[in-house]
Amino acid sequence: MLLIASVGALGSFYLLLPVVPLYVATAGAGSIGAGLATGTMMLATVLAELVVPRLLDRFGYRAVMALGLVLLGAPALVLAVWSALPVVLAVCLVRGAGLGIVVVTGAALIAELTPPERRGEGLGIYGIAVGIPSIVCLPLGVWLVGEVGYEPVFVAGALLGLLAVPVTRDLPVRSTHAEELAAESGPAGGVLGALRIPGLAAPAVIFAAVTLAAGVVLTFLPLAVRSGSAGVAAIALLVQSLTSPLARWGAGRYGDRHGSTRLLVPAVLISALGVALLVAIHRPLAVVAGMGLFGIGFGIAQNATLVLMFERVDRADYGRASALWNLAYDAGVGVGAVGFGLLAGPLGYSAGFGLVAGVLALALGPSWLDHRRATRAGRTGSSAGRAYASTSEETA
């Protein structure tokens, strides 16, 4: 039931993710308006993620997931009526809050329902489920706009979220380990306070760098190739959305058997190479290959960083670890979209993609350091956080 609800929620999100920036840009707001649309949504997502752990403690999984689906779906209907930039940004704010609620709740509940020794694979299966909407809806949204216009696409985006609301009645109301959680006490503080937990900051920062690039390519690829073949963007987005969940699942199976820290460097390197290929934005083969590579790196990074963060906390802090990971995800996407929107005009798309690839390559440093520290700790299973903490203190 959780996977079904997540598919509906992410379907609503991915269908409109590249469409709303196009909608804003064609309405006269240009690349700055397109970046603001994605950035505003991600800002609201980040702010919502900061409070979701407290909402879960107070209201439980079922009510919070239903609220997220409503906030994500219903406001999309407004876009079918009004195209003014302030209205669009207001809709993005509300939908972003819904997205933040859904992704934190989903990841936390998946971590709780899967046994520790198969958590990587469980999160990989969750990644495939939430990847299905990206496979179908990312390219579909761009294609449908050209065939039927914006209004039907906005209505479809609303329905995908709202039709998933009844499914939430079969989700657990409270934690299935309530007695254990009551006996555990994690470090004090909110979501940002979780950064003080040893070993969480590194994967969060690494993942934020990868998602910064994701915010750029998912927002601006359709605009960058708009002057060329309209089908190139749809094909490239389809390739990215196919490779990402498969890589995420494969990384989970590999990580369960060999450890996830050794996947950090390959994830960053492959992602950076993919973005670097987009410098040749007028070459369709380079664009499709670049998005394929980026999808592989992105999928590996999604699984490896999330698994590491859950390994390094107690069960009582699953909600905060999930919120922190999603915070890194959405903050990276938002900063990437807004920043690239400001740079695309003076630099151009090719030079801009090259700059993003260079920024992403900087994450190779912390990726290598995290792998070395975890290797020195002999990290295995749920003892990861304590082992990592000891090694980090020695290194410091």
pLDDT tens per residue across span 23-61: 888 877 777 788 788 888 888 988 888 888 888 888 888
Q: Are 246 and 128 in contact (CB under 8 A)?
A: yes
Q: What is the structure's pLDDT at 296?
A: 96
CA nearest to 350, candidates 291, 276, 273:
276
Tell me which of 195 and 37 has the higher pLDDT.
37
Q: d(Cα 373, Cα 379) in Å, to the nearest integer? A: 9
Q: What are phi and psi of 342, to 5 degrees?
A: -75, -30
Q: Which fold, 2-172+190-395?
A: Growth Hormone; Chain: A; (1.20.1250)
Q: d(Cα 137, Cα 237) in Å, to the nearest integer? A: 10
Q: What is the mean pLDDT of residues 382-388?
A: 46
End-to-end, the C-alpha distance of the chain in Å comes to 45
Cα 197 versus chain centre, distance: 22
pLDDT band at 247 (very low <50, low <70, confident <90, very high): very high
Per DSSP, the residues of 215-246 read HHHHHHHHHHTTTS-HHHHHHHHHHHHHHHHH
Q: What is the mean pLDDT of residues 126-147?
A: 84
Q: d(Cα 317, Cα 104) in Å, to the nearest integer? A: 12
Given a cut of 60, whether residue 379 has pLDDT beyond it is no
Residues 6+ apart with CB under 8 A from 118: 256
pLDDT band at 384 (very low <50, low <70, confident <90, very high): very low
Q: d(Cα 139, Cα 269) in Å, to the nearest integer? A: 25
- Which region, left, alpha or beta, applies to residue 381 given φ > 0 means left and ψ of -120 to 50 means alpha? left
pLDDT band at 131 (very low <50, low <70, confident <90, very high): confident
Return the DSSP state at 309.
Answer: H
> Which of 48-52, 139-143, 239-243, 290-294 has maximum average pLDDT?
290-294
Q: Residue 107 has which token pair? A: 């990841």
